[in-house]
Amino acid sequence: MSAPPALVRLLGAPLLDSPWVQRLARISFLGTLDWHPRSHDPATRLDHSLGVAALGRRFGAALELARGDLRHFVAACLLHDIGHFPLSHAAEPGFERALGVAHHGVSEWIVLGNGAIPEALSLRPVLRAVDLDPERVWAIIGGRDDGLALDLSALLLAPINLDTLDGIVRTARTFGRAGVRLPRAVFVRHGRELLIDADALPVIDRFWALKDRIYSEVINLPSNIVCEAELSRAVADAFDARVFARFADFDDAALRALADAHARRSGLSEGQDDRFQRTRVPPEAGDDVVPRVHKRYFVDTSVEAGPHGLPRKQWSRRYRHTRQLAFVSPRHAAAQLTLPIGLDDHVHQDMSRWTVLPGAEGPEI
């Protein structure tokens, strides 16, 4: 996917054509979910990053950001996922165990030229060459005070953010689900305050409901949960910190054979999700049991917009989620019936034994 001309003019071809940005074209957006037979025309991390940058340009202009602020914000949108491992989130728990760092930490190294990525090989010289301040770009990505009266990092980190707005709609398209069409203006500003436009709330409500369906029906497909767990175990044994010496060339090709094997073994490539059950009590199946925290997303419509829109501090009150630990295992592994997880179910239990396991939380696309 080539960059839209408007982004090239705003950010500069040297950044968009850099090896680090172009590497994302060789990394799948949905990882092992691409092997599922219901996946069609899968996207890459570059597709997603360009999509988030395009939203950043569109909404940043609507907020009437000064050109310098807009350039740094859109650059942050473009680079927010720059440090992803091959197959994105699918094997990240394994990489984190093996390498001691998640993709967000690697992103910082690539943008700032610290950690395992030396400055000369990082994006720091490229950003400076196109008159962008690496520290300012990273402050927006990382949620630090970037000196703006308007906290632009909220548009990447708040419950309603550009990353998820693109990612959920993109996933829906890949799996043949109806998406949502965003209005021209979603965010507005009132003085130093960032708000969601009151007129946009019905669309954002529908987006939040779509997010719930995508997580329930796509992200948490049992065959993919099992495939990710098995792949992560294999990755943890196969790689070490030496990958950072060649990280700009470290892409999906490095995991292709492993992913093929585990997609077949888990039944993912055949869509055999009925081979598995989901229970609230871990069955006695040893290593075949995969814990996964399931999130359900719902809108609290009692939290209403004010005269200028829905203030930033209210977003997490209107757009909420619950968390519940479940266990995926082969159907023959336990006698319990599969239990559905509903919006209003609240299970109070000690989750520490399971959630400490890397991968139990699952991805946040």
Domains along the sequence of the chain with CATH: 5-355 (1.10.3210.10)
What per-residue confidence (pLDDT) applies to 334?
A: 46
H/E segment holding residue 239: none
Mean of pLDDT values over 6-23: 97
What per-residue confidence (pLDDT) applies to 351?
A: 42
Mean of pLDDT values over 96-104: 96
Mean of pLDDT values over 253-270: 97
Please state whether the predicted TM-score (pTM) of the whole model is above 0.85. Answer: yes
- Nearest residue to 216 (alpha-carbon basis) of 139, 273, 260: 273
What per-residue confidence (pLDDT) applies to 86?
A: 98
Asked whether residue 347 carries a pLDDT value surpassing 60, the answer given is no
Mean of pLDDT values over 163-168: 98
187 strand-pairing partners: 196
Burial (CB count <10 Å: 0-12, 13-18, 19+), residue 87: buried
Residues belonging to the chain: 365
Mean of pLDDT values over 131-138: 96
* pLDDT, tens digit (0-9, with 9 covering 90-100), for 56-91: 999 999 999 999 999 999 999 999 999 999 999 999
Asked whether residue 340 carries a pLDDT value surpassing 80, the answer given is no
The residues near 120 (Cβ < 8 Å, ≥ 6 apart) are 113
Mean of pLDDT values over 37-57: 97
What per-residue confidence (pLDDT) applies to 146?
A: 64
What per-residue confidence (pLDDT) applies to 282?
A: 81
Percent of the residues in the chain that have a pLDDT greater than 70, as a whole number: 89
Percent of the residues in the chain that have a pLDDT greater than 90, as a whole number: 82
What per-residue confidence (pLDDT) applies to 151?
A: 85
- How many other CB atoms sit within 10 Å of the CB of residue 275? 15
What values do phi and psi take at 293, rounded to 5?
-80, 120
What per-residue confidence (pLDDT) applies to 145?
A: 64
